[in-house]
A and B are shown apart, each in its own frame.
Chain A
Amino acid sequence: MTRTVVTCVVNGDPVDFLCHDHQTLLSALRDELGLTGTKEGCGTGDCGACSVILDGRLVCSCLVLAPEVEGRSIGTIEGMANGQHLHPLQESFLQGAAFQCGVCTPGFLMAAQALLENNPSPTETEVRYGVAGNLCRCTGYDKIVRSILDAAARMRDSDAQRR
């Protein structure tokens, strides 16, 4: 079967890969590019474990076909930290014990990042709806929600200090 060359930007780097027309972005990231931080929990867009940022928008990478990302920009968990500096969300997930098994964590971090970019001061309810597309079976969400609220506060503080 012939494969298509797709050229795109992943975590800021120009990247190209070969893929089948039926292949999902999730499969391309994991199997062609070796970026296994993005997880498959269901393959049907119901669990959010495969969440990535596509041109600034949160998507389930299992619902995007790989050839569709030609010329576009993708952000994954592997690009969330800035060099040796963790993103404030990663920092607060660590400090706040926001995960137990950790398999849903990359998806939650992506969803939380998308949420805070759109709404830097979410209420608890807004956080809960912001990550309602992500399933976690371990934590009951309590420490995840608190950690996102904590990261939001810290990001606002550091923004205020910069100004």
Chain B
Amino acid sequence: MSTAGNGYKWVGTRPVRHDGLDKVTGRAHFGADYATAGMLHGAVLRSPHAHARIKQIDFTEALGLPGVKAIITGADLPELGDDKVAGGEGDATYRDLSRNILAQGKVLYEGHAVAAVAAVTLRLAREAAAAIQVEYEVLPPVLTLEHAMADDAPLLHDDLFTSGLDSPPDRASNVSARHVIDRGDLDQGWAEAEVVVEQEYSTKAVHQGYIEPHAVVAQAGEDGRSTLWCSSQGHFVIRTLTAHVLGWDPGDMKVIPAEIGGGFGGKTTIYLEPLAALLSRRSGRPVKMVMTRDEVFRATGPTSGAVMKVKMGARRDGKLVAARADMAYEAGAFPGSPIGPGIMSVFAPYDIPNVLIEGYDVVLNKPKVAAYRAPGAPMAAFAAESVLDELAEQLGIDPLEMRLRNAVTEGVRAVYGPKYRKIGLVETLEAARDHPHYSAPLGPWQGRGVASGWWMNYGGETTATVSINLDGTAVVMSGCPDIGGSRASLALMAAEELGIDVHRIEPVVADTHSIGYNDLTGGSRVTFAVGIAVVEAARQLIDDLCSRAARLRDVPRTEVEWVDGRAQSVTGAFPPLTLEELAAGSARTGGPLSATKTVNPRGVGVAFSTQICDVEVDPDTGKVTILRYTVTQDAGRAIHPDYVEGQMQGGAVQGIGWAVGEEYIFDQNGVMENPGFLDYRMPVASDLPMIDTVVVEVPNPDHPYGVRGVGEVGIVPPLAAVANAVYAATGQRIRELPMSPVRVLEALSG
């Protein structure tokens, strides 16, 4: 019997999450909550300059202060090669990762770490860091994409040559790579087009904005082994990266995951971890390091600022026939912006025969970007979905209808190469069109915008174990931090398989020494990929249980089936054996009941979302108020609908913040002027309405319950949805984010 209304007993229900009690009582331990005896405190000296050569570092005086135990600089890290970083999100080399951890030769952004100190108190560590003498030769900073790409721009890296050009470059550049997607015949496309729109767009760097700053405690043992306690999106990847940067053996490093206070991609890489580990090795004491919010803004994240020129052409009937995009993304101080997924995503929702997309990855004197929820896609969608809105208006076609006429469906070849399998874009568009929101009346200075978005999602390497305790309760163990309800979703799938109450299952996030390798919690992958491993492990366990029951009842294995938590006869020939009975007797039937599965699944379900935004614009102040907001999204299957809705709502609101308020602001020297939550303005509760959700379920045929990833695609449409709504309210297209009051007023005064 289905209690969820979808044919399942547990999948699709909304039980209280297993880690919930700890999180409403303050008992959950996050990154900064760990402490151990004899612990030192670490602090980082950071560059005050955006671009400078380090001529000399003198820390004699600082190291001489009573209570200061160790000081390290870039000279203490081993030289690393150009091999690509494994397992993390984003694109980087180990050499660059190392140089981002501690500057080597040059500082490349304001806030770049120059030295780290361990001392008996945090205050003393900070005083010692301030007492380190650094002599800089200040260099001109490169702060905009336009400047960075100019022929006469100062170079950040003398040895950086643009990859992906038609002929190899003869001199170094701030452009690290060119990426191209080319298909069809663009000239023929423009010839067929009856209406063409071409516009330029730009967005600013924005931060992931997780509320928990980065934190770690490291203990390096006398035997060469070490232990790290930290919050991250993946402790296995933290181990790989940290050990590699230090030249240590990853197998000698144990990383114990704390609860993670938000990541959104920003905790997929390392900052403090190697500093604390090396300071601990040098001092012989455990070392704790916690970033201030100011450090989080100046030295971690953000995602790329971008400039994009997008041109799209359509026939009178609305069919898109040609599209071109030229896009440049800020990588920050080292190569590796999300330009790759940016160019994949820009036209991904639409079936367009003739397409040319060029993307550039550009270094400049700002913090190295980190992954941020659907990395590279929201800004691309801002440009493309705004142009599509203009096209629809010029053609006199309803914007959702325009999208429906061009939406990709199963069997259509994606702009970026493969053929789509079963996908639900059309269903999200129809859900938006049929939602009462879409036809609700609007008042003066109010407007409605829509936009759609695509995200590829990810599978990844995964290990999961399902074990049965002697009392018939179960433990589901994975190695992926639970960042927003994945313990509950994994337990629900195990409950469905085993046929037992979800609260008789304890989901556990195990450390690097307690379970096989797991990739990050990222790419919307956990409920998909770890879910597959859990289901496969549970099914292996059920097979084992049925075999034991068959032996106990002296019948062939084929005469036993698993139903509702019991091994029963397919013919009713013997009384069933419950999980409790089988568990209690396991010692006599073959030993403990446990199964482990490792997977690296293919068949990731591509996700789409369509969103409707109503705004009101105050013509006197330029303030944009979000009046009403609806998110439709194809989840494939919502395992725990509360947390699916939560991902949709949270993603949309991050996108709203990106659209109307958030931006990194730098002075002419490249010093960040707003490194705090007062001046970097993320949405608060009073800025927002309720965020309505419609969970569309077009099951992914390659997951046992139909799961697609749900974490990321929700942030893709909002930038354009809000911009299109502002246009509808004011008649002005704002093509530069954020649509802050100043920018809106400028647009209104024409």
A interface list, Cβ under 8 A from B: 20, 22, 30-31, 35-44, 46-47, 49, 76-78, 80-81, 86, 90, 93-97, 99-106, 109, 124-125, 127-129, 131-146
Given contact pairs A46-B676, A97-B17, A102-B23, A41 touches B686 in the complex (Cβ within 8 A): no
Whether B653 is near chain A, meaning CB under 8 Å from some CB there, is yes
Q: Which residues of A contact B292 (CB under 8 A)?
A: 43
- Nearest Cβ on chain B to A104's Cβ, whole angstroms: 5
User: 16 A-B pairs, CB-CB below 8 angstroms?
Assistant: A31-B35, A39-B32, A41-B261, A43-B292, A43-B293, A46-B678, A80-B25, A100-B484, A101-B484, A102-B261, A127-B685, A141-B684, A142-B688, A144-B685, A145-B685, A145-B690
Q: Which of A20, A94, A139 contacts B24 (CB 8 A)?
A: A94
How many angstroms from the CA of A125 to the CA of B684 in the assembled complex?
12
Across the interface, do A38 and B649 meet the contact criterion of CB distance under 8 Å?
no
Interface centre among A44, A106, A132, A140 (most CB of B within 10 A): A140
- Nearest Cβ on chain B to A33's Cβ, whole angstroms: 12
Residue of A nearest to B25 (CB): A81
Q: Which of B24, B32, B646 contacts A100 (CB 8 A)?
A: B646
How many angstroms from the CA of A31 to the CA of B642 in the assembled complex?
35
> Which of B183-191, B208-216, B304-312, B695-703 participates in binding chain A?
B208-216
Across the interface, do A86 and B24 meet the contact criterion of CB distance under 8 Å?
yes
Given contact pairs A47-B211, A128-B688, A103 touches B262 in the complex (Cβ within 8 A): yes
Across the interface, do A142 and B691 meet the contact criterion of CB distance under 8 Å?
yes
Q: What 4 A-B pairs come out closest when comparing CB atoms?
A: A37-B26, A103-B261, A102-B23, A100-B484
Chain B residue total in the interface (Cβ 8 A)? 59
B interface list, Cβ under 8 A from A: 14, 16-17, 19-30, 32-33, 35, 123, 208-213, 259-264, 290, 292-293, 483-485, 642-643, 645-647, 649-654, 676-678, 682-686, 688, 690-691
Residue of B nearest to A20 (CB): B123
How many angstroms from the CA of A36 to the CA of B264 in the assembled complex?
24
Binding site secondary structure of chain A: loop
Across the interface, do B684 and A135 meet the contact criterion of CB distance under 8 Å?
yes
Binding site secondary structure of chain B: loop
Residue of B nearest to A96 (CB): B642
Q: Which residues of A contact B484 (CB under 8 A)?
A: 100-101, 138
Across the interface, do A103 and B688 meet the contact criterion of CB distance under 8 Å?
no
Across the interface, do B26 and A132 meet the contact criterion of CB distance under 8 Å?
no
Q: Which residues of B contact A144 (CB under 8 A)?
A: 685
How many angstroms from the CA of A27 to the CA of B645 in the assembled complex?
35
Given contact pairs A40-B213, A78-B25, A141 touches B678 in the complex (Cβ within 8 A): no
Across the interface, do A143 and B24 meet the contact criterion of CB distance under 8 Å?
no
Interface centre among B24, B29, B653 (most CB of A within 10 A): B24
How many angstroms from the CA of A100 to the CA of B25 in the assembled complex?
15
Across the interface, do A143 and B646 meet the contact criterion of CB distance under 8 Å?
yes
Q: Which residues of B contact A46 (CB under 8 A)?
A: 293, 676-678
Given contact pairs A97-B485, A144-B685, A44 touches B691 in the complex (Cβ within 8 A): no
Known contacts A41-B261, A103-B30, A142-B688; can you find 6 more A-B pairs with CB under 8 A?
Answer: A22-B123, A31-B35, A93-B20, A139-B646, A140-B654, A141-B653
Q: Which residues of A contact B21 (CB under 8 A)?
A: 94
Across the interface, do A138 and B26 meet the contact criterion of CB distance under 8 Å?
no
How many angstroms from the CA of A37 to the CA of B33 in the assembled complex?
8
Q: Which residues of A contact B213 (CB under 8 A)?
A: 40-41
- Nearest Cβ on chain A to B24's Cβ, whole angstroms: 4
Q: Which residues of B contact A101 (CB under 8 A)?
A: 210-212, 259-263, 483-484
Q: Which residues of B contact A131 (CB under 8 A)?
A: 684-685
Across the interface, do B212 and A100 meet the contact criterion of CB distance under 8 Å?
no
- Nearest Cβ on chain B to A77's Cβ, whole angstroms: 4
Given contact pairs A100-B484, A100-B646, A103-B262, A135 touches B688 in the complex (Cβ within 8 A): no
How many angstroms from the CA of A10 to the CA of B676 in the assembled complex?
30
- Nearest Cβ on chain B to A74's Cβ, whole angstroms: 13
